[in-house]
């Protein structure tokens, strides 16, 4: 059987969705993380519990939400709680297995910037800010990050650390005494990266089919390392691709626009 | 004690130049009509508080109502940037805007502390983040029992809270449901509270544990159907995602923003007229 045709974004979303195990309690960011988490729920992880910071717990949206608090999240949730309760009882309370985040910028230790490009007080670009991410990245038992890879997103040095990953590497995160173990994988449109067990620096462990090491080097702002035994990511299956495309199609129809990807 | 009144009267009575005001509603039930009325009345130098500034604060900031913004996520949800917020921060237009930036968990905890009449909130948070370097109000405190170091931040205590809800009865008892965000905490943390509602009913018929704000913690209740547009009111109408997308074009440019504010807010007498103008342009906005 020949490999199905797919886009790099589809490869990224499918790869990210596979990281979410069935039954996991997942605190979901809006946009790419929400797409991947819902794809997981519609394929191999029907028992995954999706929590959105606006208050829905166990959301099963029929189409992708455009905002973090769309009505279909509340309609399909097991329960809807207040925002203080979400952060106090459920996230800080230690009930979340996986935090699923995006980012504007990240560095080699998977620290995230969603605050500013440039100087904080005189920013070149003012980004939306922290939202729930600093506490998700510290309190979720582990963190998955999904982001498109480029020299703009994968930078040598962050202008601002909004949410901590592995800080300066080694045992620096452990010394902060955070409850969660931090980012365990970064999934991009080119590859999958995981932190080295000792240095905590991100290493490429899987390269998406058709992507070269040169492309990855070219789209990274630091001298990125490839793990020994780094191999090709499994191709998306027909079922995964069809489920994802149907989800996007339903979403576009529901929102009255084409290309509803946030 | 709640008084049923017009929105213009409620804003005139309870919101003054220089006040600290929180218009809350997490994506859902955003009190847009009240925000418009603040712009219409030309209220200035407000210290605005809101977890997610959204389009409502983009309008207030661009219209020159705000001196300061306390917030935790400032974007147009699902679309991109808040261009008026960015223009204020990056170019000081229409004037400089002081920022007090926090995280969602912090803001939620700070509202709880305010509602509980405590001076500060305690939480596990901000470790390793640069935010405490730029917001010196984010500090630490040591647990007297375990020695654990925790983040401590000041309670949120607005002069005025403004929320939108589904229903209120004759006595001004308010019922809201769906995604309720921090609205209850915002009302209880504030000195005064204005609530706009979709519907005035004889009886709320609320289940025992429903989110009800008794009329005696609310100052003004105003009947403003669709008053959360372009956000949504669960059980009444959906989010106007098309408007949120259109806002990106309207707000990107100062001239088109000012034309929009003039046509839809300043030249209209109230929210009903705003809706008429929206309908007249069939969702197509002027100069956008």
pLDDT at A256: 72
pLDDT at A257: 62
Beta bridge partners of A25: A49
- Residue among B188, B275, B192, B191 at smallest CA distance from B230: B275
- Domains contained in chain A, number: 1
For residue B136, the tally of other CB atoms under 10 A from its CB is 7
Distance in Å, alpha carbon of B233 to nearest chain A alpha carbon: 9
pLDDT at A92: 97
Assess if residue A248 is contained within a domain.
yes
Among B77, B102, B108, the residue with its CB nearest the CB of A84 is B108
User: B33 Cβ partners below 8 Å, 6+ apart?
Assistant: B7, B164, B196, B224, B226, B227, B228, B229, B271, B274
pLDDT at B40: 98
Asked whether residue A152 carries a pLDDT value surpassing 80, the answer given is yes
The mean pLDDT value for A234-243 works out to: 97
Asked whether residue B212 carries a pLDDT value surpassing 70, the answer given is yes
Residue A182 structural domain: 8-189+235-255
- Domain ranges within chain B, ordered by starting residue: 3-101+157-280
Q: Model's pTM, two decimal places?
A: 0.96
**CB contact (8 A) between residue B104 and residue A130:** yes
Asked whether residue B285 carries a pLDDT value surpassing 60, the answer given is no
Distance in Å, alpha carbon of A1 to nearest chain B alpha carbon: 38
Interface of B with A in 151-190 (CB under 8 A): 178-182, 184-185
Distance in Å, alpha carbon of B98 to nearest chain A alpha carbon: 10
pLDDT at B283: 52
- A17 with A146: CB under 8 angstroms? no
CATH number at A35 reads: 3.40.1080.10
pLDDT at A254: 87
Query: Of the CATH numbers 3.40.50.300, 3.30.1300.10, 3.40.1080.10, 3.40.50.1000, which one belongs to the domain with range B3-101+157-280?
Result: 3.40.1080.10
**CB contact (8 A) between residue B245 and residue A257:** yes
Angstrom distances, CA of residue B5 to CA of B23, B178, B220: 18, 25, 6
Beta strands in chain B (DSSP E): 3-4, 20-23, 46-49, 66-71, 75-76, 80-81, 98-101, 120-123, 139-142, 149-154, 160-169, 174-176, 192-201, 211-213, 220-223
- The pLDDT confidence band at residue A258, using thresholds 50, 70 and 90, is very low
**CB contact (8 A) between residue A74 and residue B109:** no
Distance, in Å, from the CA atom of B244 to the CA atom of B119, rounded to the nearest integer, reads: 37
- The pLDDT confidence band at residue A259, using thresholds 50, 70 and 90, is very low
B127 and A CB contact within 8 Å: yes
Assess if residue A229 is contained within a domain.
no
Q: Any catalytic annotation for residue A53? A: yes
The answer to which of A61-70, A109-118, B164-173 has the lowest mean pLDDT is A61-70
B95 and A CB contact within 8 Å: no
**CB contact (8 A) between residue B71 and residue A138:** no
Assess if residue A115 is contained within a domain.
yes
Assess if residue A53 is contained within a domain.
yes
pLDDT at A2: 56
Question: Does ipTM top 0.90?
Answer: yes
- The pLDDT confidence band at residue B213, using thresholds 50, 70 and 90, is very high
The pLDDT mean for chain B works out to 96
Three-class SS state of B85: helix
Assess if residue A221 is contained within a domain.
no
User: A81 Cβ partners below 8 Å, 6+ apart?
Assistant: A55, A57, A89, A90
Contacts of B52 in chain A (CB under 8 A): 131
Q: In terms of CA atoms, which chain B residue is nearest residue A166?
A: B128
**CB contact (8 A) between residue A70 and residue B239:** yes
Among B79, B129, B180, the residue with its CB nearest the CB of A162 is B129
pLDDT digits (tens, 9 = 90+) for B88-144: 999 999 999 999 999 999 999 999 999 999 999 999 999 999 999 999 999 999 999
pLDDT digits (tens, 9 = 90+) for B36-90: 999 999 999 999 999 999 999 999 999 999 999 999 999 999 899 999 999 999 9
Distance, in Å, from the CA atom of B67 to the CA atom of B14, rounded to the nearest integer, reads: 18
pLDDT digits (tens, 9 = 90+) for A56-75: 999 999 999 988 899 999 99
pLDDT at A262: 39
Which is more confident, A262 or B40?
B40
pLDDT at A3: 60
3-state SS, chain A, equals CCCCCCCHHHHHHHHHHHCCCCCCEEEECCCHHHHHHHHHHHCCCCCCEEEECCCEECCCCCCCCCCCCCHHHHHHCCEECCHHHHHHHHHCCCCCCEEEECCCEECCCCCEECCEEECCCCEEEECCCCCCHHHHHHHCCEEEEECCCCCCCECCCCCCCCECCCCCCCCHHHHHCCCCCCEEEEECCCEEEEECCCCCCEEEEEECCCCCHHHHHHCCCCCCEEEEEEEECCCCCHHHHHHHHHHHHHHHHHHCCCCCCC
The mean pLDDT value for B174-180 works out to: 97
The mean pLDDT value for A105-120 works out to: 97
B156-187 b/e with 16+ CB inside 10 Å = b? bbbbbbbbbbbbbbeebbbbbbbbbbbbbbbb
pLDDT digits (tens, 9 = 90+) for B139-160: 999 999 999 999 999 999 999 9
The mean pLDDT value for B240-261 works out to: 96
pLDDT digits (tens, 9 = 90+) for A162-188: 999 999 999 999 999 999 999 999 999
Query: How many Cβ pairs within 8 Å bridge chains A and B?
Result: 179
Assess if residue A120 is contained within a domain.
yes
Distance, in Å, from the CA atom of A171 to the CA atom of B240, rounded to the nearest integer, reads: 47
% pLDDT > 70, chain A: 97
pLDDT digits (tens, 9 = 90+) for A83-106: 999 999 999 999 999 999 999 999
Tokens of B61: 């900031």
**CB contact (8 A) between residue A86 and residue B179:** no
């Amino acid at each position: 059987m020949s490999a199905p045709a797919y886009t790099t974004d589809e490869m990224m979303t499918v790869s990210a969705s596979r990281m979410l195990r069935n039954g996991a309690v997942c605190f979901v960011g809006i946009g790419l993380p929400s797409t991947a988490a819902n794809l997981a729920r519609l394929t191999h992880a029907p028992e995954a519990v999706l929590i959105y910071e606006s208050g829905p717990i166990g959301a099963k949206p029929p189409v992708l939400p455009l905002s973090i608090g769309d009505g279909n999240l509340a309609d399909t949730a097991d329960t809807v709680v207040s925002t203080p309760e979400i952060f106090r009882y459920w996230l800080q309370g230690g009930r979340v297995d996986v935090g699923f985040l995006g980012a504007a910028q990240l560095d080699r230790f998977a620290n995230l910037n969603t605050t500013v490009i440039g100087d904080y007080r005189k920013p070149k670009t003012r980004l939306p800010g922290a939202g729930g991410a600093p506490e998700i990245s510290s309190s979720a038992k582990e963190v998955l990050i999904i982001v498109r890879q480029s020299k703009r997103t994968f930078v040598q040095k962050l202008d601002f650390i909004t949410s901590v990953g592995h800080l300066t590497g080694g045992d620096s995160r452990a010394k902060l005494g955070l409850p969660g173990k931090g980012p365990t994988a970064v999934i991009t449109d080119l590859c999958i990266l995981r932190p080295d067990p000792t240095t905590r620096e991100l290493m490429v462990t899987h390269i998406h089919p058709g992507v070269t090491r040169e492309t990855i080097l070219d789209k990274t702002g630091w001298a990125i390392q490839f793990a020994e035994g780094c191999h090709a990511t499994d191709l998306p299956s027909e079922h995964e691709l069809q489920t994802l495309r149907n989800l996007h199609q339903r979403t576009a129809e529901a929102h009255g626009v084409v290309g509803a990807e946030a | 004690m709640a008084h049923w009144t017009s929105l213009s009267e409620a804003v005139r009575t309870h919101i003054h130049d220089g006040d600290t005001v929180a218009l809350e509603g997490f994506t859902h039930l955003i009190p847009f009509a009240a925000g418009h009325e603040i712009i219409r009345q030309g209220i200035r130098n407000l210290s605005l508080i809101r977890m997610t500034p959204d389009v409502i604060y983009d309008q207030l900031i661009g219209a020159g109502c705000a001196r300061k913004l306390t917030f935790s996520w400032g974007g147009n949800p699902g679309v991109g940037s808040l261009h008026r917020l960015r223009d204020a921060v990056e170019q000081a237009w229409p004037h400089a805007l002081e920022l007090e930036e926090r995280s969602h968990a912090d803001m939620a905890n700070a509202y709880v502390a305010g509602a509980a009449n405590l001076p500060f909130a305690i939480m596990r948070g901000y470790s390793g983040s640069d935010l405490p370097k730029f917001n010196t109000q984010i500090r630490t405190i040591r647990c007297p029992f375990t020695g654990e170091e925790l983040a401590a931040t000041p309670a949120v205590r607005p002069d005025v809270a403004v929320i939108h809800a589904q229903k209120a009865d004759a006595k001004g008892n308010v019922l809201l449901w769906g995604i309720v965000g921090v609205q209850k905490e915002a009302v209880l943390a504030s000195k005064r509270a204005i609530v706009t509602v979709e519907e005035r009913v004889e009886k709320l018929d609320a289940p025992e544990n429903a989110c009800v704000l008794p009329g005696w913690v609310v100052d003004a209740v105003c009947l403003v159907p669709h008053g959360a547009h372009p956000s949504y009111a669960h059980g009444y109408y959906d989010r106007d995602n098309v408007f949120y997308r259109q806002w990106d074009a309207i707000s990107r440019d100062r001239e088109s923003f000012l034309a929009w504010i003039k046509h839809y807010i300043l030249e209209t007498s109230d929210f009903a007229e705003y809706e008429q103008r929206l309908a007249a342009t069939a969702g197509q906005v002027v100069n956008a």
